[in-house]
Structure 1
């Protein structure tokens, strides 16, 4: 199957199904029902176009854990201006909107993610703003809270983002992160807020359940 990157909306709809996130069944997302076919189909075409793999098509463990935490603790976001960084499918942003955030923005640099986030927000009856540029290093004036998940996969990206998160935290901006023990998760300066066993698939992970934590950056 060829990849029509000119019609991203149609591509996302054609290659996903609207399904509940396992740990967060209150939220339905446009998800790939089989990971490997979509990954293989898009890899070559997206590489040629300078685009990342289709991370937006999966409910990753860190995002599910953070979304669950937000829904179970709505006071974390209620009435606050929240940004979901590296949002992928928009799962965490949607959870924040459902939990009562006064304003919610979702940020990612992948144009297919922008489409998926808008479709997913619409499917769940919430409104989110989609920020499409690289915001790492920005002071995020106008926001009260940063949410992020599944960002500690590789260097140098993880190191760049960690430095930024620590700067934000030092300036008084709370930063919460969902992470299933990725290799480049910071080794210090984190406070564990919650732990979850997140159902996943062996197509994406090395187990059927991924042990996942929610963290807060501290000084």
Structure 2
């Protein structure tokens, strides 16, 4: 009995992500997107037990461990808001939600009538969250749990890329993949609150919405974030 590890000391690698998320996160509407509910952390959720001992969102934490998947970020939120406001942008299309995190953008696309939705996510906890969030919203999403940015794009009509330019290394990896998508005739929409590594010279603004970002409290005023078309490099 005394040798059994407590829940507090159980290594993150031994916890079942889906069971942990269902037991410790709350299913709640997303700010600015009441049509969608996600499993959402709260002060008592103990998220660090699932992601490991480092500080949540520590800049030095491995990308695959930091719990980006647990939060609605501005880029994904603005893309999802735009899709729900303009369902014709995805209706009948095969859609890829790149770096899906919580699955928010893919869920919005499925709700808006996409014929098929693929969500890519490399964090095993994020993979579990996408499955749970999709089921909670009554939609079907195919999940790919590996990094597809190093290869050819899948057979889709539209790529939705929310918050994929949050760091220089990630931007340098994602941009060539998005270029291959354009070369294959796949349209690309980007959602971003104009972070520093956003390739603005490659983007055409389509719409702007006031949405919250991760870390904003309910008392914090929402900031403008953009939905952009990713354009081919001028030669």
TM-score (norm 1): 0.89
1:186 CA drift (Å): 0.3
Quick one: which of 16, 26, 34 aligns to 1:25?
Answer: 34
Distance 1:67 1:151, change over 3 A: same
**Residue in 2 aligned with 1:197?**
210
Q: Which moved more, 1:36-45 or 1:167-176?
A: 36-45
| 1:56-67 pair list within 5 angstroms | 56-67=69-80
Give yes or no for contact 1:4–1:11 (8 Å, CA) kept in 2.
Answer: no
SS in 1 for 2:229: strand
1:172 CA drift (Å): 1.7
| 1:84-123 pair list within 5 angstroms | 84-123=97-136
Consecutive unaligned residues of structure 1, counting only runs of 5 or more, are none
SS in 1 for 2:34: strand
C-alpha distance in 1 between matches for 2:120 and 2:187: 17
Give yes or no for contact 1:202–1:208 (8 Å, CA) kept in 2.
Answer: no
C-alpha distance in 2 between matches for 1:8 and 1:40: 10
C-alpha distance in 2 between matches for 1:217 and 1:201: 24
For each residue in 1:81-140, what CA deviation from the matched residue of structure 2 results, as whole angstroms up to 9, or x when unmatched? Answer: 111000000000000000101111110100000100000000000111001111003322
Quick one: which of 180, 184, 187 aligns to 1:167?
Answer: 180
**1:11 aligned to 2:41?**
no
Larger Rg: 2
| 1:38-187 pair list within 5 angstroms | 38=47, 42-44=51-53, 51-187=64-200
Consecutive unaligned residues of structure 2, counting only runs of 5 or more, are 1-7
Output the aligned Cα RMSD: 2.6
SS in 2 for 1:156: helix
Give yes or no for contact 2:96–2:159 (8 Å, CA) kept in 1.
Answer: yes
C-alpha distance in 1 between matches for 2:44 and 2:84: 27
TM-score (norm 2): 0.83
C-alpha distance in 2 between matches for 1:72 and 1:12: 29
Distance 1:77 1:50, change over 3 A: closer
C-alpha distance in 1 between matches for 2:221 and 2:52: 24
Size of the alignment, in residue pairs?
217
C-alpha distance in 1 between matches for 2:149 and 2:116: 20
SS in 1 for 2:201: coil
